[in-house]
Amino acid sequence: MEVVGARSSNASGAKYECLLFDMDDTLYPLSAGLNLACRKNIEEFMLHHLGIEGTEVPKMCLDLYKECGTTMAGLKDLGYEFDNDEFHAYVHGRLPYDALKPDPILRNLLLSMPQRKIIFTNADKAHAAQVLSRLGLEDCFEGVICFETLNPPPPEAPSADHANGTPDDDNDSAGESSETTISGDAINDETKSKTIFNTAKQQILCKPSLTSMLAAIRIANVDPNKTIFFDDSARNIASAKLAGLHTVIVGSSNLVPGADHALSSIHNIKEALPQIWEAEEEHLDQIIQSRVETVVLA
C-alpha cells in the first residue's frame, strides 16, 4: 500500500495532513438533480425488481435510508437478496450525468491544497468514476474509498492463476471498467487483503456508521486529528466527529451538531478554511525567514 503510506509524511508537523471528501452533493450542488433522480431509480428498483408494493415504496425507501445509512443497506438488512452490481447499475446507470459540468474553479482549489485528498463515498466505484470525470476532477484525488472498498466481494477460491498474484496486482480489482484514472485501486486491494469488514452475512458497511468512519480512517492511513472531513449529510458529520475527525458541513451555511465549519458551497472553501493552505505558507515563511537570518548573519 505504498500510495497511502508513503504520502502520509508529506506534511509532518502540519496542522492538517489529509482531506476526506464525500462526493455526491458535496463536490457538486444538490440542485444538479442527481440526488432526486437516484431516489426515483431506487424506488423503481424496489417496485420492479423486489416486488414491493407501490404504495409502500416511498416511505420504506426513506425509512431505510434513515435507519441504515442507505436504502440498499436497509433492503439487505431486511433480507432482500439482489446483486450489488445490478442494483448500482440500475440506480446509477440512468442518472442525468449531463447535468454535471467540468468545474475548473474547484479543480484549481483542490490542486492547490498541499494535503492528501481522498474521496469517501457510499456510492459504487463506477458512479464515482463517472462523477469525477464529468466534473473534471478525476486526477485531483489520491484514491476513492467507495462501496466496493468497504464491501469487497467474498474472496474467490484460490486458483493457480491467483496463487502467484501480489497485493499490487490491479487485475482482480472490482469491475473491469476502465476508470483507472481513479487511483483508488491500491486502497481497494489493501482492503481486500484484510478480512475484518468482510462478514459472512450480506451486511452493508456504509456511512454514517461509526464503524465505516473508523474503517475509512484506517484504510486511508490517516491521523483523524490531522484530517478534515467534508460532507453534505448532517448525520455523517456527527459520526465523523465521533471518530475524531475535523468536520465541515457542505451545502449549508448553518452549523450542524458535530460540525466545526459550515460551507454553503465547496467553492467557498478558501475563505472559510484558509488554514488548509497555511501549512504551505508557513513553510515558505520559514524558508524566507531562514534565508533572511542567513543573510543577516553573513
Q: Report in angstroms how near the CB of residue 231 gets to Mg ion at its nearest.
A: 6
Return the residues of window 98-117 that contact Mg ion according to CB under 5 A.
none
Query: Exposed, middle or buried: residue 66 (CB in 10 Å: 0-12, 13-18, 19+)?
Result: exposed
φ, ψ at 120 (rounded to 5°): -130, 105
Tell me the β-bridge partners of 19.
117, 228
Q: Which is nearer to Mg ion, 133 or 202 (CB)?
A: 133
Torsional sign, CA 266, 270, 274, 275:
positive
Q: Report in angstroms how near the CB of residue 1 gets to Mg ion at its nearest.
A: 26
Q: Which is nearer to Mg ion, 29 or 74 (CB)?
A: 29
Q: Which is nearer to Mg ion, 25 or 44 (CB)?
A: 25
Chain centroid, CA 217 distance in Å: 11
Q: Which is nearer to Mg ion, 14 or 38 (CB)?
A: 38
φ, ψ at 268 (rounded to 5°): -90, 10
Q: Report in angstroms how near the CB of residue 25 gets to Mg ion at its nearest.
A: 4
Query: Exposed, middle or buried: residue 90 (CB in 10 Å: 0-12, 13-18, 19+)?
Result: middle
3 state SS of 139: coil
Q: Report in angstroms how near the CB of residue 129 gets to Mg ion at its nearest.
A: 16
Q: Which is nearer to Mg ion, 130 or 221 (CB)?
A: 130
Return the residues of window 248-267 that contact Mg ion according to CB under 5 A.
none
Return the residues of window 208-247 that contact Mg ion according to CB under 5 A.
232
Q: Report in angstroms how near the CB of residue 157 gets to Mg ion at its nearest.
A: 37
Return the residues of window 159-218 that contact Mg ion according to CB under 5 A.
none
Torsional sign, CA 269, 272, 273, 274:
positive
Nine-digit cell at 280?
Answer: 504551505
Q: Report in angstroms how near the CB of residue 134 gets to Mg ion at its nearest.
A: 16
The residue count for binding Mg ion (CB under 5 A) is 5
Q: Which is nearer to Mg ion, 8 or 133 (CB)?
A: 133
Q: Which is nearer to Mg ion, 185 or 232 (CB)?
A: 232
Strand bridging mode 227-231 / 18-21:
parallel
3 state SS of 215: helix
Site string for Mg ion, 3-32 (x = CB under 5 A): -------------------x-xxx------
**Residue 2, C-beta contacts closer than 8 angstroms, at least 6 positions apart:** 186
CA–CA separation, 231 vs 26, rounded Å?
Answer: 6
Q: Report in angstroms how near the CB of residue 128 gets to Mg ion at its nearest.
A: 12
Query: Could you list the residues that contact Mg ion (CB under 5 A)?
Result: 22, 24-26, 232
